[in-house]
Structure 1
Amino acid sequence: MQKTILIVEDEDILREIVKDYLLNAEYEVLEAADGNEALAIFEEQEVHLIILDIMLPELDGWSVCRRIRKSSDVPIIMLTARADEDDTLLGFELGADDYVTKPYSPPILLARVKRLMDSRYSHADKLSNQDTLISNGIQVYFPSRTVTVDGESISLTHTEFEILTYLMQNQGIIITREQLITKIWGYEFVGDDRTINSHIRNLRHKLANKANSIVTVIRAGYKFEAKA
């Protein structure tokens, strides 16, 4: 099935350039020039990924991301003309999966889109094609990308889901931040250790009483442990 990408960008020329690259890559494309229009389209159409500018009229990208994350784990790539690391960190804390600073290369943006699409919608490499992963009261069901904790469903972003399953699949093994970066992003990382820490913190919060399943190993990385 052809996947649909929503581009939310108020600069017409930039939006058209990105649109052309995505169409040539055989994606369907929806367009919005402001935040309110983006939310209206998202509520009415099936969207598989969002490219979201931060500086938008009517409603900024932060607000759009926050509202979408209340009901959806759709992959989100945020765009900004600001290179402030605090902005990057805020984007990830709100649930963005990737972050691209303007000016950017459209082919690089397309490569990031493809990687997110492949990891989000392809299950071929998940746990040797097993559908379910269970440990310490946490259950992952790959076909629907659903996660339950002690039988209660929780909502994870794309990146949080990828981090959790990677750690669970390597239970008891220390995973370095560099390994996480390579696995989740697969290219030169945008951000610093605080970005990884932010994703882990958000994930632990959602895991609630199972948060201690993710153990920080000082100066090494993280590992998943089944607690007694």
Structure 2
Amino acid sequence: MDRKSTILVVDDEPRYLRLVELNLTSNGYLVQTASDGKQSIEMVATGEPDLVLLDVMMPVMDGFEACERIRDFSDIPIIMVTAKTEEADRVRGLDIGADDYILKPFSSQELLARVRAVLRRAKREGPFGFENVVLRHHELEIDIPKAEVRVNGQSVRLTATEYRLLVTLAESKGKLVTSEELLTKVWGVEYRDEKDVLWVGLSRLRQKIEPDPKNPIHIITRQGMGYIFPLEEDV
């Protein structure tokens, strides 16, 4: 770790905050803490942490609402922490912009693995299959040197995970990419079978870059096979 990453841990349980802080600091991270969602928004806006570990069940403002509010102004990586095991709750967190989730109770090893994975994805530089180019597809531009995406000349805010997903598809332009390949390249091999993570990620990405997300032209689904970023003449 060249520079110590700062993790904002948000939870209303003091004992949990102390345990997580000890775990993270003993492994080389700097830690900030907040006790509710509203406070976390203020700290993201003013303190610029590198990652937010955001509990779902909190007073004043829960983690879901806090995540939505943060996404209004920041693409900072967010890991949702929840004791809820229902798939609908997990999908909801991803759908409102969380990069990952972790279920309570979790081990210190699992927490560190999730944190490392999300921070790794937050780096927008390669390795990709190309460098120093601007990729264009209809009105969509992917500016690799600036790690920026534009639609009709207007900058589009993507999370680091969404950006990596788009570039991973674009570097295979015209070729089919399977769900397993995307999950492995973008999220990591441990996510290889987490299809709901990919579906939600693609849905959010299409909402941001497609003229009509229900009839996409940039990211095409090949049912039962995978996804393709088509050549323009294929659309």
TM score, norm. by length of structure 2: 0.88
Give 1:186's aligned residue. 188
Query: 1:162, CA displacement in angstroms?
Result: 1.5
Deviations 1:67-96 (A, max 9, x none): 011111111100000000000111111011
Query: 1:142, CA displacement in angstroms?
Result: 4.2
Give 2:31's aligned residue. 29
Counterpart amino acid of 1:110?
L
Structure 2 stretches lacking a partner, 5+ long: none
Q: Does structure 2 retain, via aligned residues, the 8 Å contact 1:139–1:148?
A: yes
Query: 1:193, CA displacement in angstroms?
Result: 3.2
> Is residue 226 of structure 2 the alignment partner of residue 224 of structure 1?
no
Identify which range, 190-199 or 51-60, moves more after superposition. 190-199
Deviations 1:178-225 (A, max 9, x none): 112212221433985343222212211111328411010110111111
**Cα distance change of structure 1 residues 99 and 141 upon mapping to structure 2, 3 Å threshold:** same
Give 1:202's aligned residue. 204
Deviations 1:97-136 (A, max 9, x none): 10111111121111111122122136252345x2444130
Aligned length: 227
Q: Does structure 2 retain, via aligned residues, the 8 Å contact 1:140–1:147?
A: yes
Counterpart amino acid of 2:18?
E
Of structures 1 and 2, the one scoring higher in RCO (CA 8 A, sep 6+) is: 1
Q: Does structure 2 retain, via aligned residues, the 8 Å contact 1:8–1:50?
A: yes
Give 2:16's aligned residue. 14
Structure 1 stretches lacking a partner, 5+ long: none
Mapped partners of 2:220, 2:210: distance in 1: 14
Q: Does structure 1 retain, via aligned residues, the 8 Å contact 2:37–2:66?
A: yes
> Is residue 218 of structure 2 the alignment partner of residue 213 of structure 1?
yes
Mapped partners of 1:191, 1:56: distance in 2: 30
Q: Does structure 2 retain, via aligned residues, the 8 Å contact 1:148–1:154?
A: yes
Identify which range, 207-216 or 76-85, moves more after superposition. 207-216
Counterpart amino acid of 2:86?
D
Q: Does structure 1 retain, via aligned residues, the 8 Å contact 2:128–2:171?
A: no
Give 1:135's aligned residue. 136
Counterpart amino acid of 1:116?
V
Give 2:73's aligned residue. 71
Deviations 1:128-151 (A, max 9, x none): 5x2444130432334553211231
Counterpart amino acid of 1:2?
K
Query: 1:45, CA displacement in angstroms?
Result: 0.5
Mapped partners of 1:185, 1:51: distance in 2: 17
RMSD over aligned CA atoms reads 2.0
**Cα distance change of structure 1 residues 190 and 57 upon mapping to structure 2, 3 Å threshold:** farther
Give 1:60's aligned residue. 62
The correspondence of residues 38-117 of structure 1 with structure 2, limited to 5 A, is: 38-117=40-119
Partner SS, residue 38 of structure 2? helix
Identify which range, 197-206 or 183-192, moves more after superposition. 183-192
